[in-house]
Structure 1
């Protein structure tokens, strides 16, 4: 279930594990699966079209059924009910992902989650002079970077300083300074904002709780995502607003697994949490597919907490969970905006987190560095 990198990776893994039965991918979107990574960057800038970001199916014997939306799940009969009718299954991979969190759906707000969203925003921003981005996470800042590169006047508004929660104050402050040097403005609204505009038309601006009004030609919501679990309402599966709960192998039960942005996996500190990243989508899909075939003999999912972002001329790669900046050791190379540097949190020989700042180290090398730490817990 789901037409994404998670679904295609799971299908590929099933074949690599020797499964020779029928594999069907149901996708709500009408087009072939594609990678979402460029949507806030090259695709939004017009440098990449849909053919450039389309994912090839792992093999010719995998059936893709685009434009098929799941409506409900019947576990006892092993049926996914869709708008086109029932689809039976023996094993099920739930990879329905997440959708953009909308702050004011009645205003037909701009978001960036699907390729269609990207095309709509491209068209709207072509003749726009001013852009307001609500949300200063990776997505919001990447959108801001791309549109500033296209010559737009860009303001980012958030409850807290952009990127601080994700990268810590030291690195986030440096990125914000680079962005500010390139003309991006920031506005912090600790109590949030309310979008305003005419019914069923894109919002014209936001109003802060303090009463300040910010207006722009185009207002974009980049306020996180919501896991697509609504269709499971009558299934009996355990889920919350934080996602569908799975075990350390991605299993919901022996014949049902979940992976990617929809899945909440065991967290090192207890409970369950989603890890909405491209790397997690691939790694967790492989583990979940193997669990369908091997059961308890399948390897557990051991998150690397690896992610990256490209914005304002910076290539930032990170491995390891966020820890306090009191444990940060700053590389001597981190003296100018674009100079390559490697930042380490914790002991140098067993880091808790490593960040490459325009650094040539490959992702696999960064992951290996944090795997050495005895304080990084396996799930």
Structure 2
């Protein structure tokens, strides 16, 4: 293997390229990014970047090694597996090793409208301009992104209403922790509305949404409407390639599609024994999975399998929340004195000597320490 092409300009793509070099690969690496700017981290987009505290230059990732050929403004249009060629808007590129890291894009509720989302730096630029004249904002979606956007908007002194199909954050951290997060958000001035039937955005085609109508007929209007309703993996360019696409690019336990093709990050989907496909769209998963994918591309079966830590974090409404481990039922939740008194806390789910999930609530514990506390069901430490 002498020529590896990495398709994507995300943290997963950059990490894969760096890992290939760290693992001793000395052939050519070409990194193709559809965006016209150098790779950057998306983490601050819903926080400092949206608030105007951080510019694009502030969120650039460290420059890729000089021996990696970074090509910006290059969009992958199709993939020819038989001849090992990526066809792009600027020509065709031959490879003998391929990393698919094309990420995902924001899911939209009303493509016919000028729907505002927060996915890339251009979205932030546009929203900052729009927020100047807006006093009220409607946020649709109460996951990490929606709640972080709502938190930033309150810092900007905007009136914020947030709508979701279910109580915000509940699916991600359980009902008990989510309820406390919402209490803090309520104190910050957020108005919540839950409608299991969802909402429909309304407005004139080609114009910005004027508001949202819930399934029960209630209408919410605002100066600005922002959608934060999940993402869609970027796999259209792979149509007709012969790759299995089910909720993303299907990979095995080592992030391989086949011996010479791997995938990582928001675009990768792993087949589970249950028959379902699992895609983990998080920053930590993108980094860890791309490292595993790069090693598998070089070392095959000798590379370790990828075991996700299910680590994520969020900063919203003055809270610093870090979580390691897969979702566990609230019946297994163990609280501590800090939680009961409203202070810094470390929550665990599962047996005290082998917790399946750990959550730090304004806790000083570092991410690596938090991950080490999370054990699998056999009691063995998870990979960190």
Aligned equivalent of 1:142, options 129, 138, 148: 148
Partner of residue 232, structure 2 = 226
Cα displacement (A) at 1:376: 8.6
Shift of 1:88: 1.0
Q: Secondary structure at the match of 1:371?
A: coil
SS of alignment partner, residue 374 of structure 2: helix
User: Could you say which residue in structure 1 is the equivalent of 2:4?
Assistant: none
Match of 1:260 among 265, 279, 283: 265
Q: How many residues align?
A: 377
CA distances 1:324-355 after superposition (whole Å, capped 9, x unpaired):
10000011111355x21000111111101100
Q: 1:369 aligns with which of 354, 361, 373?
A: 373
Displacement of 1:126: 1.7
Provide, for residues 223-247 of structure 1, a one-character-per-residue CA deviation record: whole Å limited to 9, x for no partner: 000000111101000002x111000
Report the CA distance between 1:371 and its aligned residue: 2.6
How far, CA to CA, are the matches of 1:199 and 1:244 in structure 2?
33
- Map Cα deviations across residues 262-315 of structure 1 (whole Å, 9 max, x no partner): 001244755321011100000000000001110100011010000000000000
Aligned residue for 1:144, secondary structure, equals helix
Q: Equivalents in 1 of 2:209, 2:124: separation in Å?
A: 17
Alignment gaps of 5+ in structure 1: none
Q: 1:325 aligns with which of 323, 327, 330?
A: 330
Using the TM superposition, give the Cα deviation of residue 11 of structure 1 relative to its aligned residue in structure 2, in angstroms.
0.3
Match of 2:347 among 343, 346, 367: 343
Q: What are the within-5 Å matches in structure 2 for residues 1-379 of structure 1?
A: 1-240=7-246, 242-267=247-272, 269-337=274-342, 339-371=343-375, 373-374=377-378
For 1:164-207, what per-residue CA distance to the aligned partner results, in whole angstroms no more than 9, with x for missing partners?
01110000000000000010000111101000011111101000
Matched residues in 2 for 1:156 and 1:168: separation? 19
Instruction: Please state whether the residue corresponding to 1:39 is helix, strand or coil.
Output: helix
Q: d(CA) in 2 for partners of 1:357 and 1:291? A: 36
Distance 1:306 1:373 in 2: 17
Equivalent-residue separation in structure 2 for 1:176 and 1:268 (angstroms): 35
**What is the CA–CA distance in structure 2 between the aligned matches of 1:273 and 1:351, rounded to whole Å?**
22
Q: Secondary structure at the match of 1:294?
A: helix
The RMSD of aligned alpha carbons is 1.5
Distance (Å, rounded) in 1 between the aligned partners of 2:369 and 2:381? 19
Q: CA offset at residue 375 of structure 1?
A: 7.0
